[in-house]
């Protein structure tokens, strides 16, 4: 199953909600937003508009990729630079599901660019998840540096 556009480029998500009625190609493209980026670092490139369905699908995919990589514990980079603020329903779904992932997470780096509003929303959403170590970073290099600092003491 291909997640490429007809011109053989990476699937491009429109700035609209995607739900359970999405095509199999779109659902696969959502799953493909989670990848083992480096040894013990999973990278999630969030889609532009999160829904409870996409949040559930992507959080489940983090677990799948963690198990495929045979990682007991892992770091997670969540690239949110291209997404909108999640809806209340999406935030509730994240609060419901994220604690299951937290027990295996060493550190989460939220790449938000310069969005202080998004950073505030993330703090609010993550408050009850049990996540112990996280950072807000402007870019990928900053995210890697935050992970290095946490993991190397």
pLDDT digits (tens, 9 = 90+) for 87-124: 899 988 988 988 888 889 999 999 998 777 766 777 76
Q: What is the pLDDT of residue 13?
A: 95
Q: What is the pLDDT of residue 48?
A: 95
pLDDT digits (tens, 9 = 90+) for 15-68: 999 999 999 999 999 999 999 999 999 999 999 999 999 999 999 999 999 999
Say if domain 24-151 classifies as CATH 3.30.750.24: yes
Q: Which of 66, 68, 28, 64 has the alpha carbon at shortest distance from 47?
A: 28
What is the 3-class SS of the chain, one letter each residue? CCCECCCCCECCCCCCCCCCCCCHHHHHHHHCCEEEEECCEEEEECCCCCCHHHHHHHHHHHHHHHHHCCCCCEEEEEECCCCCCCCHHHHHHHHHHHHHHHCCEEEEEEECCCCHHHHHHHHHHHCCCCCCCEEEECCHHHHHHHHHHHHCC
pTM: predicted TM-score of the whole model, two decimal places: 0.88
Tell me how far apart the alpha carbons of residues 94 and 86 are, in angstroms, rounded to a whole number: 10
Joined together, the tokens standing for residue 75 give 């770091």
Joined together, the tokens standing for residue 139 give 């870019």
């Amino acid at each position: 199953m291909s997640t490429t556009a007809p011109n053989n480029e990476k699937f491009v998500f429109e700035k609209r909600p995607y739900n359970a009625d999405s095509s199999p190609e779109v659902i696969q493209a959502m799953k493909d937003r989670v990848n083992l980026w480096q040894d013990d670092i999973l990278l999630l490139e969030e889609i532009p508009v999160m829904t409870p369905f996409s949040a559930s699908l992507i959080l489940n995919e983090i677990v799948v990729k963690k198990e495929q990589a045979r990682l007991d514990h892992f770091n997670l980079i969540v690239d949110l630079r291209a997404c909108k603020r999640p809806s209340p329903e999406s935030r509730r779904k994240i609060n419901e599901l994220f604690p299951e992932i937290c027990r295996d997470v060493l550190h989460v780096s939220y790449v938000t660019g310069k969005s202080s509003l998004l950073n505030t929303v993330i703090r609010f959403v993550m408050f009850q998840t049990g996540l112990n170590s996280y950072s807000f970073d402007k870019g990928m290099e900053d995210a890697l540096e935050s992970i290095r600092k946490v993991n190397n003491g």
